[in-house]
Amino acid sequence: MYTGIAETSGEVTAVESAGEGRRIQIRADIFDDIEAGDSICVSGVCLTAETVTDGAISCFAAAETLERSWFSDLESGDHVNLERPLQPDDRMGGHIVEGHVEASGEILDISELEEGWDFVISKPSGLDSYIVEKGYITIEGMSLTVTDVDADRFSVTIIPETHNRSNLSEKDEGDNVNLETDVVARYVEGMVQKS
């Protein structure tokens, strides 16, 4: 489990096909306490470190992950947001993030504001009921607040700290971002449907 507060962004140093999946190597300065078998949130995708060597980890992204995320287009040199798992004594700074990406959305517009950026993102079908104004959304592994919702799109405001710390500073209109809706909303819907 994660909080949606990206610690840093790491550089993808290698991507190789591996059966129906892909093996991804990432270099960053936060892997000193990561061991093989540990989970890490990579731009919103919970992956397992297979190997850890000299400040880099190697992870495997399965076919299911490639279908739901933009990782089928991931290339060496790309940057990904990173967060280590939540520990019992950590602060819960964002919201509960599972790292189970549901879909990717296309960035339709980026508008610079006086203090930040407004990102307009396409709303994938099937996620409509979970994307609500002032509700949580995880974008690229980061806990953000939805500021506006239309039939086929939604908006979030990115503050300078988040922009500078994450890979969103490198994203352009037309790029895709990984999305995970609020797990609490999904559980509530599931309970209501059963009753």
Q: Are 59 and 40 in contact (CB under 8 A)?
A: yes
Q: What pTM value is reported for the model?
A: 0.92
Average pLDDT for consecutive 10-residue bins of the chain (195 residues)? 90 97 97 94 97 96 97 97 86 81 97 96 92 94 96 96 94 97 77 79
pLDDT at 80: 98
The DSSP letter of residue 92 is -
Task: For domain 103-194, give the CATH number.
Answer: 2.40.30.20
Domain chopping of the chain, boundaries: 8-83, 103-194
pLDDT at 36: 96
What SS3 class is residue 35? Answer: coil
pLDDT at 4: 87
Q: Are 187 and 129 in contact (CB under 8 A)?
A: no
What SS3 class is residue 180? Answer: strand
Q: How far apart are CA 55 and CA 35, in angstroms?
A: 11
Query: Which architecture characterizes domain 8-83 according to CATH?
Result: Beta Barrel (2.40)
